[in-house]
């Protein structure tokens, strides 16, 4: 079987990726696997989902350059459970196995497949908890009388009237004061209604007018 090994260290000088690479090479040798390629990110934080060598590994995986990916530990490869799960789902769709040496997880075995299922359930639980926390926060804010959503835009009738008298279109006026053309028109109409008492004397909105 042809495999790819992936290693990562967060700093350039304090850590040496060779420690991970050596153990991964020895493991592959014991299993009788051929190492097709080694991917090593040095000085790259694990909080970053996009990494040069990891991106290259994922690209090569789509071309089926190897049959399995071997890592030293989960946190060397993925930044979160959801990130790990997405990668494992991609590998599974491509027919590529995933092995983590420290956790002794191999998705080609029944136990490894069970771990994959558990990870999926954990990720789903994580998403559900986040959604519920957001909903609880919204309910609490409403109960306290807080107004939710974007703050209302305050149109400026005097500015609208001045720009309109200078021949500006509703689109130009709306863009200038940060509202839609329709809002600018309605503001002008309300101001005119207040001055003239004529609710039917409404201007027509168009791109050119």
For 72-97, write each residue's pLDDT tens digit: 998 889 887 778 888 888 998 999 99
pLDDT at 167 over 70: yes
Using a pLDDT cut of 90, give the percent of the chain over it: 29
Instruction: Evaluate whether residue 147 is within a structural domain.
Output: no
* 94 and 18 within one domain: yes
* 156 and 97 within one domain: no
Residue closest to 5 by CA, chosen among 44, 41, 35 = 35
pLDDT at 204 over 50: no
Confidence of residue 166 (pLDDT cuts 50, 70, 90): confident
**CATH for 81:** 3.40.50.1390
Confidence of residue 202 (pLDDT cuts 50, 70, 90): very low
Confidence of residue 199 (pLDDT cuts 50, 70, 90): very low
The full length of the chain comes to: 209
Instruction: Please say if 45 is a catalytic residue.
Output: no
Number of domains into which the chain is organized: 2
Structural domain that includes position 47: 2-108
Rounded Cα distance between 203 and 169, Å, is 12
* 185 and 93 within one domain: no
pLDDT at 156 over 80: no
User: Which tops the pLDDT comparison, 141 or 51?
Assistant: 51
DSSP bridge partners of 37: 4
User: Which tops the pLDDT comparison, 106 or 135?
Assistant: 106
Instruction: Evaluate whether residue 67 is within a structural domain.
Output: yes
pLDDT at 38 over 90: yes
Sheet with 105-106: list strands edge to edge.
34-42, 2-9, 68-71, 97-100, 105-106
Q: Which of 10, 80, 82, 161 is catalytic?
A: 10
Q: What is the pLDDT of residue 209?
A: 54
Q: What is the pLDDT of residue 36?
A: 95
Rounded Cα distance between 153 and 132, Å, is 30
Domain boundary, last residue among 108, 125, 140: 108
What's this model's pTM, rounded to 2 decimal places?
Answer: 0.57
């Amino acid at each position: 079987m042809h495999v790819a090994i992936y290693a990562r260290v967060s700093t350039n000088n304090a850590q040496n990726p060779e420690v991970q690479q050596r153990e991964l090479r020895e493991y592959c040798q014991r299993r009788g696997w051929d190492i097709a390629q080694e991917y090593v990110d040095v000085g790259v934080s694990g909080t970053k989902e996009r990494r040069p060598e990891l991106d290259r590994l994922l690209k090569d995986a789509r071309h089926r350059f190897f049959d399995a990916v071997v890592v030293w530990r989960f946190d060397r490869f993925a930044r979160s459970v959801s990130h790990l799960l997405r990668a494992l789902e991609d590998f599974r769709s491509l027919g590529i196995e995933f092995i983590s040496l420290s956790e002794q997880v191999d998705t080609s075995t029944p136990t490894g497949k069970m771990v994959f299922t558990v990870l999926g359930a954990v990720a789903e639980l994580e998403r559900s908890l986040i959604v519920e926390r957001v909903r609880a926060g919204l309910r609490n804010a409403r109960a306290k009388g807080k107004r939710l959503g974007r703050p209302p835009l305050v149109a400026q009738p005097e500015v609208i009237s001045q720009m309109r008298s200078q021949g500006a279109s509703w689109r130009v006026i709306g863009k200038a004061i940060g509202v839609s053309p329709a809002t600018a028109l309605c503001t002008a109409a309300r101001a005119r209604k207040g001055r003239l008492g004529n609710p039917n004397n409404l201007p027509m909105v168009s791109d050119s007018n």
